[in-house]
């Protein structure tokens, strides 16, 4: 799954009141971000308002089922560039 670039990118899902979404919190589902019926740690989400969620599909997020950007490593040298920009060093 992780070799396919489409599975690494997060899913933007529109959720609406009255819907129920069963999302994976363990990271072992082959259908990320959805949970399989035999999963032990599902998150049953019943939204109270319409909203868009950024859901993890790479299973690397520390905040499953939500994406925290773990699929994308920081660019090399980016910290140094920002440091020079802000501090002139």
Q: What pTM value is reported for the model?
A: 0.70
Residue keyed to tokens 């002139």: 88
pLDDT of residue 40: 81
- Which stretches of 4-65 are assigned E, i.e. beta strand? 11-15, 21-24, 42-45, 51-55
Q: Mean pLDDT of successive 10-residue segments in the chain (89 residues)?
A: 61 95 90 89 93 92 89 68 65
Give the domain extent around 30. Answer: 5-87
Query: How many structural domains is the chain composed of?
Result: 1
pLDDT of residue 1: 45
pLDDT of residue 74: 65
């Amino acid at each position: 799954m992780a070799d396919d670039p489409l599975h690494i990118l997060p899913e933007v899902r529109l959720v609406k009141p009255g819907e129920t979404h069963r999302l994976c919190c363990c990271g072992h589902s082959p259908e990320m971000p959805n949970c399989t019926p035999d999963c032990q740690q599902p998150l049953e989400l019943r939204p109270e308002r319409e909203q868009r969620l950024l859901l993890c599909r790479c299973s690397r997020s520390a905040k499953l089922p939500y994406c925290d950007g773990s699929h994308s490593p920081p660019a090399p040298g980016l910290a140094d560039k920002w440091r020079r920009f802000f501090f002139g060093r």
